[in-house]
Amino acid sequence: MLSIHNLSKTYQVNGKYLEAVKPFSMDIVPGKVYCFLGPNGAGKTTTIKMLCGLVSPTTGTIAYNGRDIIGGSWISRPKTGAVLEGARNINWRLTVPENIDYFCGLHGLSGHRIRAEQYIQMLGLENHKNTECRYLSRGNQQKVALACALTLDAEVLLLDEPTLGLDIEIARAIMEVINHEKSKNRIIIVSTHDTEFIELAADEVVLFKNGILKPLGTPQEIMAKHGNGDNRFSTAYLQLIRS
């Protein structure tokens, strides 16, 4: 379990302070998909970056199974697979398996070949295997980034907008693969604006609004409470965000 206590981030830009994430506490349990949702600039990426150690929190602690992972050494961190915003999660001059080998090598892994092949198949990358990633489409590059993160067999999976700009089929394939990961008892956090993804994959929706986080339950609970009888998640979301 990830236990987050009083975590916050204030950036300083041109002498001014910006409270990107206000202090919050929550427990994140394995085997569920947590979806971070909210307007642009609400603090989702900043929170994900704090969780994977790329941004230092201004306040707070994060513990993984009771072990402090901010104050502790790098070794005390759980193995984490992350796909961040943008297209630079992979090495563009390497092929798909070479990228996977590269990232697994950084984590000191070997013997990951069978797992890598499984993810290559699941994500429909088998016909692109021998192509340098710089020649792949954006959607396929995103799938490669996901294949690298998943092959690590990490305890924590952090995905920032994994379906951004992808066609419906690729987005659905990625969602199905993420859903499949639930059975492996990982911590899974996904930031997304994709309401279909939320409806089909989220177990816990965490709403971000002006740097404030609120866990709201399942999409179905949210729709029942805030959807005004409409069965689209976006209707309930708009009602929530405007209130």
Distances (CA, A) of 24 to 47, 58, 216: 10, 12, 14
Token readout for 146 is: 């996901």
Pick out residues in 4-33 that bind ligand ATP (CB under 6 A).
11, 13, 18, 20
> With b meaning 16 or more CB within 10 Å and e meaning fewer, what string describes 190-217?
bbbebbbbbbbbbbbbbbbeebebeebe
Q: Please, which residue, 40 or 73, has the CB nearer to ligand ATP?
A: 40
For ligand ATP, which stretch binds (CB under 6 A), given 38-46, 110-118, 142-150, 222-230?
38-46
Helices within the chain (DSSP H only): 44-51, 96-106, 113-122, 138-151, 168-181, 195-201, 219-226, 233-242
Least distance from C-beta 39 to ligand ATP, angstroms?
7
Q: Give the C-alpha separation, 163 to 157, whole Å.
A: 15
132 vs 196, beta carbon nearer ligand ATP: 196
**Residue from the set 3, 33, 35, 43 that interacts with ligand ATP by CB under 6 A:** 43
Q: Which of 7, 44, 84, 151 binds ligand ATP (CB under 6 A)?
A: 44
Which stretch in 37-45, 146-154, 175-183, 231-239 sits in contact with ligand ATP by CB under 6 A?
A: 37-45
Stretch that binds Mg ion, among 37-45, 116-124, 170-178, 198-206 (CB under 5 A): 37-45
